[in-house]
Structures are given as C-alpha cells and as structure tokens.
Amino acid sequence: MSTSRRDFIKTASVAAGTVAISSALPSWISDVEMAEAAVAAAVDKNALADIALSTARKLGVTYADIRINRYRTESISTREKQVQNVSRSQNFGFGVRVLFKGTWGFASSREVTPEEVRRITRQAVDIARANSVYQRKRITMVPAPKVAATWKSGFEKDPFEVAIDDKIQFLLNLNERALKTNGVSFVNSSMGFVNEQKFYASTDGSRIDQYIIRANPNFNVTAVNRANGDFQSRNSLGGPQGLGYEYMEKYPWMAEAERAGEEAVAKLKAKPIEPGKYDLVLHPSHLWLTIHESVGHPTELDRSLWWEADYAGTSFLTRDKIGKLQFASKMVNFVADRTQPGALATVGYDDEGVPGQRWHLVKNGLFVDWQTTRDLALMSPRKKSYGCLHADSWGSISFPRMPNVSLQPSAGNTTMDDLVAGVEKGILIYGDGSYSIDQQRYNFQFGGQTFWEIKNGKVGGMVRDVAYQSRTTDFWNSCDGLGGQASYEIGGSFNDGKGEPGQSNAVSHGCPVARFRQVNVLNTAAK
C-alpha cells in the first residue's frame, strides 16, 4: 500500500478551505444530507429490483443482479491550530450486471426511477451481447444460496451522528499534545468516515440490505533541525478500522500523539544504521503492510491467472504451486476472513450474495488456497466462492477484491520481550513506511516509522534510515517466532487500489509481533 498509488477515494467536497468552528456549519451540511437521504428513502428498492430482473430475464440472460447503493463520506483535516478542510459528500444510484452467453455486461445510473432501471438493464444486456461476439472463454458461475437478509457492521457509535465541532476539537487537542515536545514544528491530523448503504437483488432470488461504517483517523508529526535542515516525521500507528466513532474515544490517540512528537525529535539524533544482516522483530503496526503486499495481493486468483496485470502486476503464485509450495515456515498460518470483527473488509455478504467466510490461504507454511468469486471458483481447488466480489460504487462493476488477510498468533503467551530476548543483533520496527515490490509480488523492500537497535536480547537506542529487502518466500520462511493473542493487532489500508479504471477497497490485516532471522538491511540515506 502506498499513498501515491492508492489514496484516491472518490469524494465530492461540499465544503473546502479553512472553516471556523461554528454552530452554523453542521446545520447546513445536514440540510444537504437530509435532502439526499429523502430521495433515497422514497425509493422502493424491491419494486425496482423486480423491474430490472424481470426485464433481464425477458432479454435472455442466464444471470442478473442489481445494486442500489447510497454512499456517505466525511473528512476533516487540521494543521497545528487551524482547520484546513471539512467536507461531506454522498451519492446515490444503481448498477445492473448481467450474464449473457457467458459474457458480462454492466451499466449504471444516478437517476433511480422505474423507467431508468428498464433502460439501464437493456443497456447492460446490449453491452453483454456485443461483447459476447469476442468472448473467447465463457464465464460460468458456481451456485449461491438464496438469501433474504439485513446486516449491519459492528460499530457502536455512528460517526455521522456526532457533531462536526466535537470532531474538530478532538483533532486540535491531538495537535496540541504533539506540539508539547520542544522541536516539533508541524502536525497534521485528520479523520475520515465512510458509510455504505447497499441493497442487492439477483435472479437467484436473493435480497440483501447492508449498512457498513468505517473510520480512518490519521496524524503526522514533523520535527526540524533548523541548523542543518534535517527533518524527520512520525505517522500515527493506529490505523483505519471497521468501527464507528467509538474508535476515536477508546484508542489512546492523545498519548500516541505525544509519544510521536518525542520520537520525531529523537529521530533527528538517531544514529544511521550499518547495512548488513539482522534479525528483525516486527510490530503489527509495521507487519500488516508486508502482509498486504507479499501475501494479500499474490493470493488473488485473478492476478495468478494474469487476468489482472495493469494495476500493480500479477503474481508469482501460479496455479501449479497450490498445495506444493512451502510459502513460509511451518508455524505460519494466513487466514482470509470476511467476518473478522472491526476489520475493514468485513461484510455480511459480497456483491453477488455470497456470505462472508473465513479460510486458510497458507496453512502450516504451505500455500493451500486462493481468494475467489463465483466466476473464479471453478479454477480453484475447492470450486467454491469465498465471497470476494466488491465494487467501490454503484457506478462501478464488481470484481475480485481482497478480503481481510491475517497472520495467526501463536497458541501460547509469547510476548515481544520473549522474541527480543532471542536476538543477539537485530532491529525492532514500528509503523509502516515507504515500500517497493516487483510486478509478481516476489522481490521487495520495506521501511517503517521508528527503528530500535536490539543487542544481546535487549532493546537499545533508536536508529534511522532503515529498510529491509528480501524475497517473499525467503522472508516468510525465515519467521521463527510469533507473539501470542495478546500481541495481536489489526492494521490496514482505507484505499487499496486495483483495476482499470481504478477502484478503491478498504482492507485489514491482523497479526501478532513476529521475528525473522538474518534479513538484509539497507541504509536508505547511503549514497
């Protein structure tokens, strides 16, 4: 995950620029929201679904679905003692997907009326019919159960019901805590929230309503040595979560902001790392990103088939390796999970009515399974869809997207101190940083936020300019220590990009603290 490549969540600002804290602000934003909500509430989604599906059947399709979705986003950003931006947006529309002669067709519209639903359904069929002339391999879908359900994600406090003034004051207080440390020059903080209200109906007979909330808080603290022009930053370690506003209230954001200020200043004086081989002890706030890039993406079946190549490449995990490749050491288990509490890719059902599930991708170090959808399932060993279809909008066609992919903790009570105690010469790394990985997800390099020297089983002083490089299978096979459940944390990306044209997906990766032996470490500042 990289901000330059993935941070492109689609929002339309209704308020921009510097905004003063005022009682008038929430009222006029709420008026806009109320007007849009009234339009969405007036729509009879089941009646519109009947129109779309009956029209599609009459036109000879073998399968059709309709998604009628409302999306709400909110973003607030501050810098030191100022508010930089407050924005809210929402959109409402529908998309129809059809399968005609083994070929997909899709069309969408923001005009949610019976007449438009008929027109768009015909258009989707026309597109599929035209494409079917050139389709070389016909699509076949595995069956899915008929579902009638309503599902809501596991949040406690809806962030869209919390006053904007309260959110602004929270961020300004956070900035103040970071600025307490002498030498801190800049602080940027933000919080963003997304609400997906999704309705799905298909010719299989399913009708599903889902209400999903996700939270994305973030801050960055920068310290400057004005004598030599050096500057160092420390980003927040608490990442996005599939939670509501309670995340802002329960996570120790203020204490972390103060610690971040101290560590940003300390990085200015930290000694440069000496390149060489080191044992690594990786905190979950760092390791989630390595999992995302080296495990999550290569186990996407469409990448392995080379059906997805334009956006971030394919995968070295070709189908002949399933059940044969020792991907990692035998203690390593990676589980894909669309049901994990608090995770970003957790849903009740995917975009073709398949329920959220949990399954192994890597079991006892062996590569055993893929991420699949109903039209990829027949090319996987178990011929089963794991519910990995998703679209980022009613106006986007659904396609395979990553579920939550997590490294399982050890069965015991192993702590970070236990893992550090077994290291003679090593580095402890917190937080995600810059990274690079090749187009088949095999050769990589990762940085971080803070780096601490380990000598003779003890954590010592801070070091800087650290990045490690390895090959995916070499790296995961070098893992010889995992923390227990108490060390397990969830990290993730709010904006994981894929596809052409690009779409954005939110996904989490949980893991315990973990130890890796004799990994090559670079000095990133060396000339």
205, 313: one domain:
no
Q: Tokens 């519910």 appear where? A: 387
Q: For residue range 474-489, list pLDDT tens digits in order.
A: 999 999 999 999 999 9
Give the pLDDT band of residue 309 (cuts 50, 70, 90).
confident
330, 214: one domain:
no
**Residue 444 and residue 519 in contact, taking contact as beta carbons nearer than 8 Å:** no
Q: For residue range 94-150, list pLDDT tens digits in order.
A: 999 999 999 999 999 999 999 999 999 999 999 999 999 998 889 999 999 999 999
Q: For residue 177, tell me if it sits in a domain.
A: no
pLDDT at 10 over 60: no
Residue 36: per-residue pLDDT: 63
135, 209: one domain:
yes
389, 489: one domain:
yes
Half-sphere exposure of residue 218: CA atoms within 13 angstroms, side-chain side? 20
205, 312: one domain:
no
Question: Quick check: helix, strand or coil at residue 25?
Answer: helix
Q: For residue 330, tell me if it sits in a domain.
A: yes
pLDDT at 17 over 90: no
**Percentage of the chain lying above the pLDDT 90 cut:** 88
Spatial CA neighbour of 417 closest among 404, 431, 428:
428
Q: For residue 241, tell me if it sits in a domain.
A: no
Final residue of a structural domain among 201, 219, 237 = 219
199, 86: one domain:
yes
Residue 4: per-residue pLDDT: 36
User: pTM for the complete prediction?
Assistant: 0.92
147, 291: one domain:
no
Spatial CA neighbour of 235 closest among 523, 448, 511, 83:
448
Residue 106: per-residue pLDDT: 98
Q: For residue 265, tell me if it sits in a domain.
A: no
CA distances, 195 to each of 34, 161, 210, 212, 281 (Å): 15, 12, 10, 6, 36
Give the pLDDT band of residue 23 (cuts 50, 70, 90).
very low
CATH number at residue 29: 3.30.2290
280, 414: one domain:
yes
**Residue 427 and residue 466 in contact, taking contact as beta carbons nearer than 8 Å:** yes
Q: For residue range 65-91, list pLDDT tens digits in order.
A: 999 999 999 999 999 999 999 999 999
Q: For residue 52, tell me if it sits in a domain.
A: yes
**Residue 483 and residue 516 in contact, taking contact as beta carbons nearer than 8 Å:** no
pLDDT at 30 over 60: no
Return the number of other C-beta atoms located less than 10 Å from residue 168's C-beta. 20
DSSP at 408: P
pLDDT at 15 over 80: no
Q: For residue 239, tell me if it sits in a domain.
A: no
153, 295: one domain:
no
pLDDT at 9 over 70: no
Residue 34: per-residue pLDDT: 63
Average pLDDT over residues 406-412: 96
Q: Alpha helices, DSSP H only, in 23-81? A: 24-41, 45-58
Half-sphere exposure of residue 49: CA atoms within 13 angstroms, side-chain side? 20
Residue 446: per-residue pLDDT: 98
What's the mean pLDDT when you consider all of the chain? 92
**Residue 356 and residue 348 in contact, taking contact as beta carbons nearer than 8 Å:** yes
Taking the C-alpha atoms of residue 166 and residue 209, their distance in angstroms, rounded to an integer, is 30
Dihedral sign for Cα 284, 288, 290, 291, please.
positive
Taking the C-alpha atoms of residue 392 and residue 388, their distance in angstroms, rounded to an integer, is 13
Better-predicted residue by pLDDT, 431 or 31: 431
Taking the C-alpha atoms of residue 202 and residue 54, their distance in angstroms, rounded to an integer, is 10
DSSP codes, 3-14: HHHH-------S
The vertex-296 CA angle with 474 and 157, nearest 5°, equals 135
pLDDT at 180 over 90: yes
Q: For residue range 425-449, list pLDDT tens digits in order.
A: 999 999 999 999 999 999 999 999 9
Give the pLDDT band of residue 311 (cuts 50, 70, 90).
confident
Q: For residue 451, tell me if it sits in a domain.
A: yes
Residue 40: per-residue pLDDT: 73
Spatial CA neighbour of 374 closest among 353, 397, 358:
353
Dihedral sign for Cα 323, 326, 328, 330, please.
positive
84, 205: one domain:
yes
- 3-state percent helix, strand, coil for the chain, nearest multiple of 5: 25, 40, 35
pLDDT at 251 over 80: yes
Query: 491 forms bridges with which residues in the sheet?
Result: 509
Q: Are strands 358-363 and 334-337 parallel, antiparallel or unpaired?
A: antiparallel
Terminal-to-terminal C-alpha distance of the chain:
26
Give the pLDDT band of residue 237 (cuts 50, 70, 90).
very high
Our count of domains for the chain comes to 2
**Residue 172 and residue 20 in contact, taking contact as beta carbons nearer than 8 Å:** no
The boundaries of the domain holding residue 8 are: 3-164+192-219
330, 402: one domain:
yes
Give the pLDDT band of residue 229 (cuts 50, 70, 90).
confident
Q: For residue range 341-352, list pLDDT tens digits in order.
A: 999 999 999 999
310, 200: one domain:
no
Q: For residue 260, tell me if it sits in a domain.
A: no
Q: For residue range 370-406, list pLDDT tens digits in order.
A: 999 999 999 999 999 999 999 999 999 999 999 999 9
Query: 195 forms bridges with which residues in the sheet?
Result: 72, 213
Average pLDDT over residues 251-277: 97
Give backbone dihedrals phi and psi of 50, rounded to 5 degrees, phi first.
-60, -40
Q: For residue range 351-370, list pLDDT tens digits in order.
A: 999 999 999 999 999 999 99
